A and B are shown apart, each in its own frame.
Chain A
Amino acid sequence: MIQHMEVGAVVLRTLCGLYSNLVTRPTGQAVRGAIEARLADRATPSLTILDFSEVRLLDFSCADEVVGKLLLQHSRNRSEAYFLVRGADDHHLEAIEQVLGRYDLATVVLDSDGSARILGVVDDDARRAWHLVQFHGRAAADELLLELGGSRERLVAQLDDLTARRLLVRSDDDYIALNMLM
């Protein structure tokens, strides 16, 4: 199930149209609360697109409350909730990246040209594996191994870790890029 969530619209709805700037922790807590409320009655697995295109400003504290704690919560709960960030400017991404670094988290960002990338903490080998899945859209470990080389066991461990971190979706033997689900 795909959920498209304009973060700016959530702000406006939850805070009565007061803020187009996502600043301060109380604002971030309110926005995260609204996102969580919308997610609560969704079937899993779910894909939620966090759309920042209507957000003018995002400071570090608010990024921590909206993105950091949202992803941390779902990571801890091992819930089948996947998230994509899109419509984010450079300064949004700087704040989000700093926050993700604190929690050792990562997320997938869709750039304006439609390409996807990982933002946050992922080692180089895992990042290469992720990019290859991204390139194919969907691939099994054995197909990826032909291109990446190395140990199969290690590659599967990396792909499973990327799946556990909700950066890929696994379906039987295939690993699927998140944006393929849109």
Chain B
Amino acid sequence: MSTVITVPPSLDDSTFEQVLEQYSHVVDHEKLLIDARHTRWASPYGLTALLALGATRTEAPAGFAGPEIDDTSSYWQRAGFYRYAEELFELHGSVPRGRQGASDSNVLLEITPVEKSDDVHAVVERIQAKSQSILVHELNLDPQATMRFAMTLSEVCQNIVEHAGARGWVAVQTYRWRQRLLGRRVVVIAVCDAGIGFRKSLETAQGRKLSDRWDDAMALEDAVIRGVSRFRDPGRGQGLAGVRRYVGKWDGKLSVRSGTARIAIVPTWDEDVPLTENLPHFPGAQVQITIPERAEAR
């Protein structure tokens, strides 16, 4: 008898919490099926977070039933999801055919594993080649934005290499956001891992005194807002500070979930809250950056 976790029809950073709410009641040795048969759409965050969830199953891999709708499943295949899902889940049903990375202009970077520094170099090389025309011509960002975008991507991927202690995944996609922003285009970066997370990473800092209130939320505030790192070197912690600055410049949104908390740098076009606590526990760190099309240039 398996416990079934139902994946919502539309899977993004918000609805993934429904998956985690269900997952929080599952024990590691329990048989588990992730049921995404009725899922019609997934954001890069949804796909990479699903892989991170699969990576948490150390005792026995979870089963996974993918979307039944052909368009959706073939999109997941092209985005690279099944390539890594095959390693992490026991796949149920047929795995869609099709080539990963086949021409899909909306996928700026198909799902790519990040574990070591060389992976970050590969990500940066690939994103530069594809992002220029989309960032400049479709999102109306200035031509220099391509470099800043690659810097942003590099820094969030390096968080995995430097702090996670486990493999993570990155994906970048562009789409038209119908629910918000009056249907403007957005480019979304998602970087998810199931490693040790921010709180444990900061706890490994030598000589660090932990306050009574020390928890996942405080760890996120330290790392994301105050640029604190587990390393005593004052040069550390600059990556996320730089990312925050660029995201602010682009009127974008940055959200970081780790453990039981989630922190967000919220632009005026979004109604999210800056800090959410007492979420279902999920290991590692899950980062999402949303950069909208520049409205005034439309």
With a cutoff of 8 Å between Cβ atoms, the chain B residues found around residue A58 in the complex are: 151
Would A61 and B150 count as touching, CB distance under 8 A? no
List A155-179 residues whose CB lies under 8 Å from chain B: none
Given contacts A98-B238, A102-B234, whether A59 and B144 have CB atoms under 8 Å apart is: no
Q: State the main secondary structure of chain B at its contact with A.
A: helix
Per-position binary interface string of chain B over residues 199-220, scored 1 when its CB falls under 8 Å from any chain A CB and 0 otherwise: 0000000000000000000000
Q: State the main secondary structure of chain A at its contact with B.
A: helix
Tell me whether A21 is interfacial, beta carbon within 8 Å. Answer: yes
Tell me whether B69 is interfacial, beta carbon within 8 Å. Answer: no
Per-position binary interface string of chain B over residues 106-137, scored 1 when its CB falls under 8 Å from any chain A CB and 0 otherwise: 00000000000100110011001000000000
Q: Please tell me which one of the listed residues A21, A60, A68 contacts residue B125 in the complex, with CB atoms under 8 A apart.
A: A21
Would A103 and B125 count as touching, CB distance under 8 A? no
Tell me whether A7 is interfacial, beta carbon within 8 Å. Answer: no
Would A102 and B238 count as touching, CB distance under 8 A? yes
> Which one of A22-30, A43-51, A109-117, A146-154 is at the B interface?
A22-30
List B210-243 residues whose CB lies under 8 Å from chain A: 234-236, 238-239, 241-242
Q: Please tell me which one of the listed residues B117, B144, B241 contacts residue A25 in the complex, with CB atoms under 8 A apart.
A: B117
Would A60 and B151 count as touching, CB distance under 8 A? yes
- CB contacts between A and B, total, < 8 Å: 82
Q: Please tell me which one of the listed residues B121, B151, B235, B239 contacts residue A19 in the complex, with CB atoms under 8 A apart.
A: B121
Would B235 and A102 count as touching, CB distance under 8 A? yes
Additional A-B contact list (12), CB under 8 Å, known A21-B125, A68-B235, A91-B144: A24-B158, A59-B239, A60-B155, A60-B238, A60-B242, A61-B239, A64-B235, A64-B236, A64-B238, A91-B147, A95-B151, A98-B245
Partner-A contacts on B (CB < 8 A): 117, 120-121, 124-125, 128, 144, 147-148, 150-151, 154-155, 158, 161-162, 234-236, 238-239, 241-242, 245
